[in-house]
């Protein structure tokens, strides 16, 4: 067996043993799924396996993936001795996996449990994550979930400005406490600012792009202080109006991402429901 960091006879450097040992947690996951198939003692190895470690088979697919990973990292295919070294590392990894299971890590180790759950979720939702819906399906999805693709089209605000931050802080405190502005000499309304609903593009002309963008995200009735061009601006949102995007082409990627996420959520929920139907679950509320 080659030691870590050693060069094999062909001159090809073998990777550190931790290159595959770090995969032990993945082996724990695969064991939990049953990917490492159990074999009866004394059975001949099937064509789909390259080794048996106790009662577990190391699949040829797993071995080929290890070879491909090595070739990608080394920039060249694995030589004959390297292939043997990699198989030895897979055997070492399987021994670590089996020992981890014997120690109850799948039940007691939080990181292992989370890794198993997350990897199984990824496996269950893989098809949904790669779904390629037709235009008709996307159009229907957009129509059925229009609220997910809405945006703030218009905002109505009140605005005041002052040269003194302390005055702005005192003013907004009174505004929030009383609900109505208390006008003092040191603060005044922003000239010509319309009180009616206006598109965000127009609001930018009065408040600047940064303040306008933030204001669009504020709840109705809320207020905030902003610094702009040496002055302090107090803004209160009085009304908002949303609009829905109906043109699929303008937000196609966004709709596809949301479609896949929704499909993955539904797929996972169906899978969990199936597990619950087959399981016996007893709960004692605290």
Residues counted in the chain: 286
More confident residue, 105 or 163: 163
Question: How many CB atoms lie under 10 A from the CB of residue 105?
Answer: 19
* Most confidently predicted of 19-33, 177-191, 244-258: 244-258
What is the model's pLDDT at position 16?
A: 53
Residues carrying CATH 3.10.50, the chain: 147-244
For the segment 24-38, what is each residue's pLDDT rounded down to a tens digit?
455 554 544 444 444
- What does the alpha-carbon distance between residue 177 and residue 190 come to, in Å, rounded to a whole number? 21
pLDDT at 43: 56
pLDDT at residue number 107: 85
Residue 149: strand, helix, or coil: helix
Sign of CA dihedral 48, 49, 54, 56: negative
At 285, the pLDDT band (50, 70, 90 cuts) reads confident
List beta partners, residue 225.
Answer: 234
- Please give the distance of CA 73 from its chain centroid, rounded to a whole number: 27
- Residue % of the chain over a pLDDT of 90: 58
Q: Take residue 198 and report the two structure tokens written for it.
A: 């206006």
Average pLDDT over residues 211-215: 95
Domain 147-244 in this protein, CATH class: alpha beta
Provide the pLDDT for residue 135.
95
β-partners of residue 151 are 243
pTM exceeds 0.75: no
Burial of 220 (0-12, 13-18, 19+ CB in 10 A): exposed
**Average pLDDT in the 146-169 region?**
94
46 vs 23: CA distance, rounded Å: 24
What is the structure's pLDDT at 165? 94
The region of weakest confidence among 19-28, 71-80, 152-161 is: 19-28
Residue 224, helix vs strand vs coil: strand
Least confident of 36-50, 124-138, 210-224, 263-277: 36-50
Q: How many CA atoms lie within 13 A of 243 on its CB side?
A: 11
Helices (DSSP H) in the chain: which residue ranges? 18-21, 24-33, 60-74, 80-102, 105-108, 110-129, 135-144, 165-178, 200-207, 209-217, 252-278
Give the pLDDT confidence of 67-99 residue by residue, as tens digits.
Answer: 999 888 888 888 888 889 999 999 998 899 899
User: CA nearest 135: which of 222, 260, 249?
Assistant: 249
24 close to 96: Cβ distance less than 8 angstroms: yes
- Tell whether the torsion through CA atoms of 162, 165, 168 and 170 is positive or negative: negative
Q: Which two tokens stand for residue 32?
A: 């939990």
């Amino acid at each position: 067996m080659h030691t870590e960091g050693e060069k094999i006879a062909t001159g090809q450097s073998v990777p550190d043993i931790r290159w595959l040992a770090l995969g032990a947690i993945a082996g724990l996951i695969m064991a939990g799924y049953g990917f490492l198939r159990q074999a009866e003692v004394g059975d001949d190895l099937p064509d789909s396996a390259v080794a048996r470690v106790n009662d577990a088979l190391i699949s040829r697919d797993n071995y080929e993936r290890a070879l491909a990973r090595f070739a990608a990292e080394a920039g060249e295919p694995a030589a004959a001795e390297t292939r043997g070294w990699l198989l030895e590392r897979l055997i070492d990894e399987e021994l670590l996996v089996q020992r981890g299971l014997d120690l109850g890590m799948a039940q007691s180790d939080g990181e292992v449990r989370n890794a198993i759950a997350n990897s199984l979720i990824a496996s269950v939702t893989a098809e949904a994550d790669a779904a390629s819906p037709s235009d008709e399906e996307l159009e229907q999805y957009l129509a059925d979930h229009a609220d997910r693709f809405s945006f703030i089209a218009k905002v109505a605000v009140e605005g005041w400005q002052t040269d003194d931050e302390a005055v702005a802080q005192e003013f907004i405190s009174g505004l929030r406490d009383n609900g109505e502005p208390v006008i003092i000499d040191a603060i005044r309304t922003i000239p010509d600012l319309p009180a009616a609903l206006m598109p965000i593009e127009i609001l930018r002309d009065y408040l600047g792009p940064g303040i306008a963008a933030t204001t669009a995200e504020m709840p109705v009735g809320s207020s905030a202080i902003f610094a702009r061009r040496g002055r302090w601006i107090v803004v209160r949102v009085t009304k908002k109006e949303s609009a829905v995007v109906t043109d699929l082409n303008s937000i196609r990627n966004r709709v596809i991402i949301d479609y896949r996420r929704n499909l993955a959520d539904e797929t996972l929920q169906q899978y969990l429901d199936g597990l619950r139907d087959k399981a016996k679950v007893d709960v004692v509320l605290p």
